[in-house]
Amino acid sequence: MVIRHWRRSHTKDGASAYRLDWNGLSFVWTGDGRPDELSLELAKGVDVFVTEVQPDTANLQALKFGMPPIIVNTTIDQAHSPHYAVGYMFNKIQPRLAMVTHLSYDEELIPEIVAGIRVHYSGLFQFGAPDVVVVNVTKDAVWTRKAAIPEAGNMARPSPRDAIGLFDLSPTNLEVRFPNPRHTVADMQEPAVRDREIDPKKYYPSDMYREPQRNFPNGFKIDVRQVVQKKLRAMQAKLTAEQEKLQQLIDKLEGQ
């Protein structure tokens, strides 16, 4: 048995990927981290390759959770692998079975993840979710099956009551202020690790590329009044449109 490990870029130093070779079979677990050239080299041709994935769908998640896109984007760009990058890595490594884990297994995000992976990779693919997926590997075949477990829980938007308590909101305090980061990624990570990250332009489709947000901004805050006003304006616009439709119907009926 041979076990090897290598460093990965994950906000600060310390993250590792592992490869196990045993009796002519091999397995790679990358853990969390940015897509990197070293994983492409050391995982090449592995039987089962398991990595993490974070769908780069900040705007969709903002609609669901009410979470500002900058939070999702900086989290991905500091520490995780977007779905396009995972497909790019799968295609370069060519495992017998490619798998992803470390994701919120939400119905509306699964098609987005698969579509991003399939931009680059057309081989055998399996979600490592919901927990626990069992993988059987022989020299002749690879197959998966799902264990019987209780229904898994996923992230959810906090209720207004939860948000009031969580952020200490009140009629006189309607701002959610985020603490400034104490360190930048460059402060916490050796350049040699970060420099092995794959250039995002290699895996993002040209019309989906965005400039990476490596550091969370200072002075970031959410003005609850603006959020509420935006929702009220959207509701007002919807009501106005419905009123116009209703008036048109009335006009037609009266015209008859």
pLDDT band at 21, cuts 50/70/90?
very high
User: At residue 63, does pLDDT exceed 90?
Assistant: no
What predicted TM-score, i.e. pTM, was given to this entire model? 0.75
pLDDT in tens, 233-245: 888 888 888 888 8
CB of 173 closer than 8 Å to CB of 219: no
Q: Residue 224 has what pLDDT?
A: 86
Q: Residue 205 has what pLDDT?
A: 94
Would you list the DSSP string of 15-41?
-EEEEEEETTEEEEE--S---BHHHHH
Q: What percent of the chain has pLDDT over 70?
A: 96
Q: Residue 155 has what pLDDT?
A: 66
Q: Residue 132 has what pLDDT?
A: 78
CB of 15 closer than 8 Å to CB of 197: no
CB of 98 closer than 8 Å to CB of 125: yes
- Tell me what the pLDDT averaged over the chain comes to: 90
pLDDT in tens, 144-167: 988 766 665 556 677 888 888 888
pLDDT band at 115, cuts 50/70/90?
very high
Would you list the DSSP string of 230-255?
HHHHHHHHHHHHHHHHHHHHHHHHHH
Q: Residue 256 has what pLDDT?
A: 57
Task: Give the mean model confidence (pLDDT) for residues 21-38.
Answer: 96
The closest alpha carbon to 208, from 217, 199, 197, 200, belongs to: 200
Domains in the chain with CATH codes: 2-219 (3.60.15)
Q: Residue 211 and residue 214: Cα distance in Å, rounded?
A: 9
Q: CA-CA distances (angstroms) from residue 198 to 37, 82, 123, 195?
A: 6, 12, 21, 8
Higher pLDDT, 203 or 104: 203
Q: Residue 194 and residue 33: Cα distance in Å, rounded?
A: 10
Q: Residue 100 and residue 119: Cα distance in Å, rounded?
A: 16
